[in-house]
Every structure is written in C-alpha cells, then in structure tokens.
Chains A and B, each alone.
Chain A
Amino acid sequence: MSTVPCSNCAADVPVAHRFCGKCGHPMQGQPVPPEGVGQTAFFGAMQTLGKAKLILIRGEGMDGVSYHLNAAEHLAGRKAGAILFPEDNYLSPRHANFFYDAGRLFVRDEGSLNGIFSRIREPTAIRNGDVFLAGEELLRVEMGDLGGQTVSSDHTHFFASPRPARTYRLTQLFEGGRSGLCHFVRGDSVTVGREACDVNFVDDRFISGRHCRIDFTPQGATITDLQSRNGTYVRIHGQRELTHGDYLFLGKQLLRVEITTN
C-alpha cells in the first residue's frame, strides 16, 4: 500500500486517507508524490519536534517511556486511548484526556473513579471534601459540621464522647474504599508527615518527615508542600491547564509533563 508521510508527525499515512492515523493531522492538500519518484523519508516519527510529551516516572511498564502529545487530544486509561496502562486497576477504562485548546495543553478528568492528582508547586487553595496524596497516603480534607442527633425518638439523650472544638479534620482513605484514621485539627493548621507532625504515618516510606501543612479558615483551606521529597498531590476538579514540569498521578502512574514548544 502506498503511503505518504504525515507533514505533522511524519507517520506513514496511506494515500487514500484524509487524516493522519497517528496524530490526526489533515492530509488534504498534501501533494501526492507520483509513484516511483524518489522521496526523502524521516528517520522516525519522533524526529519531528513535538509540542509536549508525558514521561513515565514511575508506574507500569518501562519508566522513562515518553508519550508524545502531538495530536489534538490523547486519551489515557486502562482500556482505551493512546496512553494505555491495561494493568493498572486504579485507572478507569477512560480516565483522562490530554488535549490542546488554543495551543495550551490541558488535562481533563473523564469522570474517572480515582481522579487525576497534580503536584502542587505553591500553596494551593482546597475545598471541603478535596483529597490529596502525601507519600502513599490518600487524605481527605473535611470542614463541615459533623451533625448527628443526640436525642433519640423516645427522648433519651445519647451519652456520647465530647465533641471536638473544631470540625476541621483529615480523613484517611484506604484502598478499596474504607476509611482509616480521622484526625481533628486543633487550632487552624495541621502538619502531615512521618514523624513529629500532627498526623504521622511512620510506616510510609514515601512520605517525608514533614511533608505538608494545611491551614484552615472558615472560608476554606490552603495546602502547602513542606519541600517534601516526593511532593504533595491534589486531585483536580474537571480540567486544568498543564505547564512544563507538572507532575501527575493517574492511578499508580506518575507522569511528568514536558512542553517543548510554546
């Protein structure tokens, strides 16, 4: 079958095709070289300067593998998409979509179960119910009132523990969906780490001694990474723009974003 190289990514595209099967670039208007006429081929598809790529830092398969983001959008997931991790059960079948909008790279959560976590690079505002990763720990920030009845329908008063003074709290979420510890914050701030913090995970090899801090106000909370070794990751809502050097967790896959063009 006769092919022509895609002008965008240099992939071999059958002559009759109107779009490049690899990057989606339209093939219309491309000169169709006559049969037999000598043509110069690329050494490989990656020879072309791409727009952005994802580098697998840690996860399933070969660490260091790059995923070039040269098309308009790139689906990632366990069962569908160009960025495929079939063995990672934390990934939804369709998990995330990396796409360009006006030349800027975005990632969008495709309604995945476990979400996309982005490493924070500066103090970041978070809301009630937001979850974040520190080391291997998945923690949820909660600020709402606990509620709960203290008098039963027969007017018996419930003899309960004293309520905490504040409702700011962190809840640990175990794999499989069970909840683990719940720490009620004293004052307006809580530190998380392996030792000498308010909340300590002594068995977590990936958490730093002092890993991150959350500061609470009645309006919301701010999470700050305390120069931890592995970083603090906050689950994104919907979609967000990516910049060079961003780190993302999709399931167990840790990816670094490298943007090579503007």
Chain B
Amino acid sequence: MIICPNCSRENEDHYKFCLGCGTEISKATAAPKPRPMVMPVPVPTVVPAAVARPRVVSLHPPEVVDAPGFTTRPTADADATPTLMGDVPTFDTGDGGTTTSPIGELSAEAADHDMPFDVLDQPTPAMDVGVVARGGTDHPQALLAPPASSQGGAASVDLPFEVLRDEAPEDGAEEPGRSGDFLDASLKGMPAPSTGVPRLSARPTPLAAGPAASVEGRLCGSCGAVVPDGFKFCGVCGSRYEADRAAPDAFVPPAHEVGEAPARLVLIHPDGSEGATFPVGPGETTLGRSHPSSLFSEDPFLSPRHATFFFVKGQLFVRDEGSLNGVFLRIKAEVELFHWDMFRIGQQLLRFEEMSQVRPVMPGAGDGTTVMGSPVRGAWGRMPTIVAIDTTAAVWVLRKPEEFVGRERGDVVFNEDGFVSGAHAKISTRDGRYFLADLDSTNGTYLRIKGEGLVAPGDLLLLGQQLFKVEID
C-alpha cells in the first residue's frame, strides 16, 4: 500500500499514479515511467497536477527541457533537404562498434506482424484525406515497400538507410563508416578519454554549464542520472551504460525559425499548458532520441530515429520510422480499426485483433484431431493489454456489436486506471468492419499510426512520452 503524499489516499503497491489525484506515487528511483497522456482540459480529478517525467539528474540545466535553443536558427541550411537529422550523428552505435539500424532493432512484436511500418519512397499525393491513412487494405497505393521481414534485421536494413542517405547531406558514408563518424563527432573538441568512452562531463557544450556539469561522470542514457566513471550500470535505473549513449553535442538550431516554419509541434505539458514549440520545415524533419534537442534526447521512450514529418502538396504527414513506441494520434471522429491496430486509453496500451485473423496458440496433432476449446460464439475480436515488448496481460473477447471501455462502466473496465474516463471509448463492428470511437473522454483515445498518416492542424500526437499539438499554417 502506498499512501499518496498529495492527497493521502491509499493506493495499491504497483500503482504508478494516485487513483485519487493523479500524483505520481512510484518511487523516484524506479526505472523511467511512462507519463500518462494528459489533455489540456479542466478536470482536476483526472489531470494530475504534476506528473514528473523520468529525469532524475541531468547535466543540462532544467530550463533546457523546453529547449528554447531550437527556436533560433540563424542561417538556412544550404542543402535543399534541411532535415534536422542532417548535421548530427543519426545512429547510435552499439557496443563493440556494431552499428545498428532502427529497423534491425524493431521489437520482435513489431516484426512479427504484418505492418510495423511502411516506407514511402516517394510520397504519394493520392492519399485519402482521412484522419489516419494507414497501411493495409485501405491505402495500398501509398505503401510501396513490403512489410518488414520476420527476420527484422538484415533483410530490412536497406530501406531506412536509403531514406537516410537521401536526407543526410553531409556524407555518403557507408554504414560502418557512420559509426566511426559518430564517435569522432562525439569526441570532437574534447580530450581523448583514456577509456575510449566519451566523457560527457568534459563535453564542451554551452548547455552543460549548469552546476551538475562539474559532476565527474557520464549521463545514463535511460534516465539521465549521472553515472560515475568506471560504473557499468546506472545506479538509479540499473540501465547498462553504453559508450554510445553519449548525450548529443551542442544543439544546432534548425534551419527555419519557428515563425517561418510551415508547421510547428507545440509541446503539451502534463498540466495541459503549452511548452516549447518545435518547427517543422518544408523538407523532412526527423525526430528521435538522437536528435540534439534535449526535449527528445532525454525521453527514453523515443527511438533514436522515431518519426519523420514531411509535406506532400501542402499537407503534413508523419511517418513512423519503425520506432518502438510508435506515433499515436488522438482520434476525433470514429476511426476504422484493423487487425493488430494499437491504441491508448488512459495508461493502457491495447491492441485490436480481428478474431478471424488470430492465430492458434495450441498446436494440433496433425492426425485430424480438432483442438478442443470453448465455443467462439460469435466473438469478433480480442483486445489484449500490452505490458512489455511482445507480452500481453489481460485480454478481453469482443462479442457484442458494441463494446464499451471505461473506468466505471462498460464491458471492458479499467477501474484501477485513474486516467480512464468513466465511459471512455467504444469498439464496435458492423458490416464486417471494426471501429473505434472516443466517448468525449477527458484524456482521449490515441490510435497508433501504421506506416504514415496525415496530420491536421490541432491534432494531438504522442511520440514517446511527448504530447504535441500540431500547428499548420
């Protein structure tokens, strides 16, 4: 039992947030915790007053969080593709100098099913103007690339690298060279450490001028805590310190000033207030943990290359770069659900599975014997909660034409999740199709974009733990 320090309510030991007031009650030393999605709506019982993000100790002064640095970019990049990823190391190098690609690091779960991502070689303007243009049956013309192979690694590596080479103007380096470039860049301008591990404390970045910068150590890439030299694991969160987890170099302002950018991402704080504004230029803008902005680099829930924003005929699209946690869009109208779609309700990460496509888990004997079991009785879907990579916990069977999800009432009840509204969402089927609708919930229902999707002004996007409002001129 955990007593909430804010409202004194008793909470179960595993609760991360107080059921009564939403205050984070988990131990501060725990591993990074997802920040629940919170919308700027005046419902104090649901919106937590202050939900801490998993930054424990940072070499950056706190105000860097909102990263005002990127609001000023003095000169436009001469290159025609001013991707924000263009002038920084793009990939983490694995230990031992192994260069990994985002695709190769796709979770087994993502690689297992059909559409973990799609790569659009040439953005197709013929896309529907639906809320979400997703891979699969509805927009085949937009999906030129085949699904990732189940191997996940080598077979799929080419695509993102092709994309990267197109975007990154600074070199045509091959993959192995990239890792070397990265290390060079990391070590540039600082004394060569005897261990060969970049020492962040010596990093000559003006942003690291805070008092913590004098601490002799490195930054944990997961939680931001200082890891003393010689330690292999972070004492705060237990993550293994990796040489490649060096914090990025000093942030280079983007090509376009915020005022000139055709679109902007406005950070929405947990209390609903607006924070930093991130410009989205007319070219491709790739965000991720490897982005130099501390806004992104300190979010352990962002993949190194997470998502790319780009314009096609004046419309803004976002492409999931095979990220672990995906890009989630808050749904407005009812949206159609397809097999293996993922969505978020409160703190829950859920998946829709069309029953006819669910694969057996109990093998047959191959002798004509049918596997015995409960009658399906018209069930049209399954809905698991996802608690780890490729790991599900509770599963609901969807059987009625309309199934309601809520904290207090409905067919699927999350009565321990204070971020789920009493009646939150509805999952339904008609005419052999499946739909998800939000029931004017406080915190919204977010659908993961498959491949890429159209983004409209005012849309709310969840990348990692960052919630953004989209502004488009």
Contact = CB atoms under 8 A, between A and B. Distances in A.
Nearest to B414: A161
Given A89-B368, A177-B361, A178-B361, A158 B388 contact: yes
Given A148-B388, A149-B389, A175-B373, A184 B382 contact: no
A151 B239 contact: yes
Nearest to B415: A186
A7 interface: no
Interface in A107-153: 112-114, 136-139, 146-153
A149 B302 CA distance: 16
A152 B324 contact: yes
B92 A91 contact: no
A157 B34 CA distance: 9
Interface string A68-108: 00000000001000000000011111000000000000000
A151 B301 CA distance: 9
Interface string B369-402: 1111111110100101111111111111101000
Contacts of B393: 146, 161, 163-164, 169, 182, 184
Most A C-beta atoms less than 10 A away, residue of B239, B350, B368, B399 = B368
A172 interface: yes
A181 B303 contact: no
Nearest to A92: B369
- Contact residues of B: prevailing secondary structure: loop
A187 to B, nearest CB: 11
A90 B386 contact: no
Given A150-B31, A156-B323, A177 B302 contact: no
Given A146-B388, A152-B105, A155-B92, A173 B362 contact: yes
A35 interface: no
A176 B387 contact: no
A174 B387 contact: no
Interface stretch (B11-19, B120-128, B424-432): B11-19
Nearest to A90: B372
Contacts of B363: 177
Contacts of A151: 222, 239
Nearest to B106: A152
Contact of B105 (A153, A161, A176, A181): A153
A94 B349 CA distance: 44
- Contact residues of A: prevailing secondary structure: loop
Contacts of B370: 89-90, 175-176
Interface size class of chain A, counting residues whose CB lies under 8 Å from the partner chain: 35 or more
B369 A113 contact: yes
B300 A156 contact: yes
Given A146-B387, A161-B349, A161-B387, A175 B301 contact: no
A175 B374 contact: yes
A177 B105 contact: no
Contacts of B369: 78, 89-93, 112-114
Contacts of A43: none
Nearest to B26: A162
Most B C-beta atoms less than 10 A away, residue of A89, A139, A181 = A181
Contact of B388 (A78, A147, A201): A147
Contacts of B348: 161-162
A162 B387 contact: yes
Contacts of A175: 370-376
Contacts of B385: 161
B116 interface: no
A154 B364 contact: no
B92 A177 contact: no
B326 to A, nearest CB: 9
A175 B361 CA distance: 11
Nearest to A154: B105
A103 to B, nearest CB: 32
A37 interface: no
Contacts of A1: none
Contact of B325 (A91, A136, A156): A156
B313 interface: no
B395 A182 contact: yes
Given A150-B389, A161-B387, A175-B373, A181 B12 contact: no
A156 to B, nearest CB: 4
Contacts of B303: 152, 154, 156
Contacts of A5: none
Contacts of B465: 159
B371 A177 contact: yes
B215 interface: no
A183 interface: yes
Interface string B94-113: 10000010101101000000
Contact of B395 (A148, A154, A162, A180): A180
Nearest to B153: A153
Contacts of B384: 182
Given A156-B303, A176-B373, A181 B397 contact: yes
A148 B373 contact: no
Contacts of A201: 374
Interface in B48-90: none
A179 interface: yes
Most B C-beta atoms less than 10 A away, residue of A114, A153, A173, A174 = A174
A174 B373 contact: yes
B388 A149 contact: yes
A173 B374 contact: yes
B371 A176 contact: yes
A155 B361 CA distance: 30
Contacts of A159: 34, 301, 325, 349, 464-465
A62 interface: no
Contact of A182 (B222, B371, B394): B394
B359 interface: yes
Contacts of B300: 155-157
Given A147-B388, A156-B300, A165 B12 contact: yes
Contacts of A93: 367-369
Given A139-B374, A152-B324, A163-B393, 11 more contacts: A149-B391, A151-B222, A152-B389, A159-B464, A161-B350, A164-B393, A169-B394, A172-B373, A182-B384, A182-B394, A183-B394
21 contacts: A89-B370, A114-B372, A146-B387, A146-B391, A147-B391, A154-B102, A154-B304, A156-B105, A160-B386, A161-B347, A161-B350, A162-B348, A165-B12, A165-B14, A172-B374, A177-B360, A177-B373, A179-B361, A179-B382, A201-B374, A203-B377
Nearest 10 CB-CB pairings of A with B: A148-B388, A148-B391, A177-B360, A177-B362, A182-B395, A177-B371, A114-B372, A175-B373, A154-B105, A113-B365
